[in-house]
Amino acid sequence: MKCLSRLRLHAGAACLVGSALFLCGGLAPLFGQIVAWDVHGTAASTANPMPATLLDPGIASATLTLGIGVTASSASNTFGGSGFDQRSLSAAMAANDYLSFTVVPTAGRSLSLTSISLLFGVSSAVTSFHVALATSATGFSVPELLWTFAFNTTLSPSQSISLVDYVELQDVTSALEIRLHGWRDPSGSSTFRIRDNAGYDLAIFGTVSEVAAIPEPSAYAAGIAALVAGAVMARRGRSWRPRRVSAAGSQWSGRQDSNLRPPGPKPGALPG
Ligand SMILES: [Ca+2]
């Protein structure tokens, strides 16, 4: 995966310096925060799904919601749910115990994610509460989880997860969902939530780019033909000389000795 990502970056660099810039096209990417939520003054019980507080113009929509395995919490200044009661990732996935956010690019735009920052916690500390990020880009595949983490306090410190190595999260042109699954070691049930601090509490960083128009195959063929024709003409231009045509229609080079010309009637010669 990392190798593919590097290939993509190298291709991007080649795109910038190459002579075929028209194939890369598009606007300069916008770096930074492209989607963010501030849960201050809200609760999942009254705002589910919750639209993003900050939305890049290149993103049509972004919503934060809950899996059907948990119940929207009414705790103020949070977005979360009660009923996180599974004891393994596979069980949490099967039970749909998760927080989820879905980002939909505007038509003609693509998203490339670089990182996610989030602030979360539980209502009562346990040893331990576990979380894992999975994405629709990989079919929520467990071997391709984006990140896992465990904590044993109520207020886990802010977390920042780099996504630059995940090629599936680059150049995304359709809806992308990321699920934050939660489960716990001891039996019981937790209320797990995005919690409030100054500013945004869940933010996605990355770039939004205009999708480059892909030339029609006929345009490629015409372009290649023009390049080949130009190269041939340039090569001929170095050795080309005027050519004359004999009366009999034979051709010879103007540089050839006259003795090598095709035989023809001599001036003034009489018939017979
Ligand atoms: Ca906040």
Q: How far is the CA of 158 from the centre of ligand 1 (A)?
A: 12
In a domain, 261, yes or no: no
pLDDT in tens, 147-169: 999 999 999 999 999 999 999 99
In a domain, 92, yes or no: yes
Q: How far is the CA of 86 from the centre of ligand 1 (A)?
A: 28
In a domain, 139, yes or no: yes
pLDDT in tens, 171-225: 999 999 999 999 999 999 999 999 999 999 999 999 999 998 766 666 656 656 6
Containing structural domain, residue 89: 2-12+20-210
Predicted pLDDT of residue 213: 73
**Cis bond leading into 128, ω under 30°?**
yes
Q: How far is the CA of 196 from the centre of ligand 1 (A)?
A: 4
- Residue partners of 134: CB distance under 8 A and separation at least 6: 93, 140, 141, 142, 144, 145, 146, 178, 179, 181
Q: How far is the CA of 36 from the centre of ligand 1 (A)?
A: 10
Q: How many domains does the chain have?
A: 1
In a domain, 251, yes or no: no
- Greater confidence, 119 or 23? 119
pTM equals 0.70
In a domain, 259, yes or no: no
pLDDT in tens, 34-62: 999 999 999 999 999 999 999 999 999 99
What residues form DSSP beta bridges with 26? none
Q: How far is the CA of 244 from the centre of ligand 1 (A)?
A: 86
Decide if pLDDT at 268 tops 90. Answer: no
Q: How far is the CA of 140 from the centre of ligand 1 (A)?
A: 28
Q: How far is the CA of 197 from the centre of ligand 1 (A)?
A: 4
